[in-house]
Structure 1
Amino acid sequence: MLGLGDAYAFSIRQYVLHGGKQEGVSLIEIDNGHLVFTVIPTRGMGILEARAGDIALGWDSPVREVVNPAFIDLEARGGLGWLDGFNEMLVRGGFAWSGHPGLDGEHRLTLHGRAGNTPASRVEITVDPEPPHRIRVRGVVREATFKFADFEMATEISTLPGEAAFRISDRLTNRSDYEREFQILYHGNFGPPLLEENAAFVGAIRDVAPFNTYAARDLDSWPRYRGPTGHFDEQAYTLWPYANDDNRTTAMLHNAAADRGVAIRYRVDQLPGLTLWKNTDTRQQGYVTGIEPGSGFPYNRAIEREAGRVPTLAPGASREFELDYAILATRDQVTAVDDEIAGIRAGRETHIHTEPPVKR
């Protein structure tokens, strides 16, 4: 394709969904010759799923349609309306706020902000003419409210032909004439075949604490997963990762046999907080875990501000965020990432905290 030869065979397909609540949703499917992933411009440039061979990144949500934001009421259920469209492999929380719904002063905030339900504009697809011919999907997501916010996120989701990996490169800019608070969360979600009984999270973690008292009950087994368990409430853990000399860290989810997994690499100076979300309810209810690098943790913004974890952007200033996701298809690949994480840890201890990191 494009005269690049069989070694760089790939395809790009754009289509629009019709029927039900997915009416008018635009999707872009990238097949790099080995990895296939689907970007959703209509839903904030989220990623619906990614697949290489028999390994899929994503999950089976009770929300089966790719819901057009026109059918989402973020205020529903006391600010939980975001869940009415929640089924992506990757969705961003932000930008004026993220985290749990509730009051922040006189303002009532909804779950995880508005970024994931804001259609992108100026979407384009490019392919580098020179080797290794990186394929790039770009878009702009704007969150602007008179008197309160004027954010612009320029995103690029890219991959190399033949690789089982993709990269997210975001630049968030404050277009306002005033300094503004912001929050951002990369809510990556994984179900079977990687998630199963005795699957494991692996990371170079400095500190871990339960998000709440329910999570504290299983603190002894926080990196390991149950099989599908009826009437299981969600559990989350707040993690502070170690990083290498370049401020980079790696997190991994692998299956029980440790021969398939996913690796996530990113910069801790860009995304200092890491949330591990475990929703090991029944398969029908949405058996899923979230590995979520962010500017902080998904408490309500008022709580995060009190803890000093709500950053600001000066007028016209930008912050950049880059994350790499790689599918691991063999035991050797899982072992190599495990060794990489051990190298970042460098023998340093993980400190276990029995109490949540904030007073609620």
Structure 2
Amino acid sequence: MRTRTQVGIVGAGPAGLLLAQLLHRQGIDTVVLERQDEAYVRARVRAGVLEPGTVRALKAVGAGDRMLREGLVHGGFELRFGGRGHRIAMDELTGESITVYGQQEVVADLIDARRAAGETVEFEATVTEVTGTDTATPVIHYRRGGETGEAAEIHELHCDFVAGCDGFHGVCRPPQSRSYERDYPFAWLGILAAVPPSSDELIYARHDRGFAMHSMRSPSVSRFYLQVAPDTDLAEWPDERIWKELRIRLSTDDGWQLTEGEVTEKSVTGMRSFVSDTMRHGRLLLAGDAAHIVPPTGAKGLNLAVSDAQLLGESLISWYADGDEGPLAAYSDTCLRRVWRAQDFSSWMTGLLHRREGAEFEQRAQLAQLAYICRSTAASTMLAENYVGATGM
């Protein structure tokens, strides 16, 4: 059991694992603590759209081989409305493409890369608090091996820095910190289906009945989303109803066909925006969902977490190399510039494609804006640049 490390990392998601790998490759000692067990972490399904910068980051730390073999490279995506599809050619407009590869696969690759480097992740380690963040030796307090109850032993991990990568509900985010938030009046009903994709690229569909999305995870597994109310009960959505609604919302005048099959997973996810006022609290530095959450429409959550980890890794490497405080001092402001750009884009994309009850004026304005995007090279380029993350943030 370790009691001292240079950087203690709370959370074995993409941000925490990538940060650990970046620091390890520079000889900086880390300990990664994760509340869940390994099977859960490897199985939890999240986003699946990787920006080019995320692809490069995974390759750089030796965790990109399987992604390069199995990831689905897309040079464009489709906006579908009014019974027609309109392709946004990201590769032609920006020179970049995205890669469709599930977040759980990214996490699995990073865990395997850490093990291959002779390092481990301490799973089932429940962090109870982080203290001393305003000193040179912060301490992570945690229980090991799923221990619970008042009698469970509390262990201490002493660090130079603590990286809080444990998500919105984790213990690292100081409860008194200021934040900016927005709730949206709809949610996504998402399913995984054991069926080949019905399209070569992602489809974002705006329909009078609500938004729908066709995505994929592999040549044999598809991912779909439907706009629903935030208080939706999954029991009211049997498979037959889901497939019927997807057929309606994704339909086109030319008779496009949806491939249907076995639904293997089903969930409802609310949509919200959240940004912490600062991502640094003394020797505690936040990354990923611990500091910000974006609506999933713009596919930015995972990519922001990776960007945070890269910047935090570079800042800590500079500090350990020559005591340079500059990058660490600028960490929060630098990250938040990109975060707010992503928030603006994700909120705009959400408003562009989702239906609001009774908002007839807005619905007609949506259609006008979608039509403009599809006929204007400048507007299409703006959308493509933001989608691939090529906005100079």
TM-score normalised by the chain length of structure 1: 0.26
Q: Over alpha carbons, which structure has the higher Rg?
A: 2
Q: Which has the higher strand share?
A: 1
**Per chain length, whose mean CA-contact separation is higher, i.e. which structure has more relative contact order (CA < 8 Å, sep 6+)?**
2
TM-score normalised by the chain length of structure 2: 0.25
Q: Which has the higher helix share?
A: 2
